[in-house]
Amino acid sequence: MSNPTIEAKIRLPANLLEATDRAVNQGKAKSRDEFIMRAIRRELAALKRAEIDAALAEMASDPEYQAEVLQMETEFATASWEAFKLAESQA
């Protein structure tokens, strides 16, 4: 299923458009459109990574979350050790 495209008029500084055209002429993209779409996708992915990093940082400073992690580690410690010993004996 392809994603429909919509024509959108955008304004760019001349130096960005010139740099885009140079990249296209050097074969780094098939067209201006492709180059700009790739740039937008990269920026959106970077924003998503930043959101995830912020959420992880928040979790790292959350005392309730830290207590829950320590409890899970304690509960799984025996099973983890048994799995390690079993794998070691089969090697």
Q: What are the pLDDT digits (tens) for 28-55?
A: 999 999 999 999 999 999 999 999 999 9
Tokens describing residue 71: 């409890």
DSSP assigned state of 49: H
DSSP assigned state of 30: S
Q: With bands split at pLDDT 50, 70 and 90, how would you rate the model's confidence at 3?
A: confident
Largest CA distance in the chain: 67
pTM: 0.64
**Residue ranges covered by each domain of the chain:** 10-60, 63-91
* Burial class of residue 35, CB neighbours in 10 A (0-12, 13-18, 19+): middle
User: What number of H helices and E strands is found in the chain?
Assistant: 3, 0
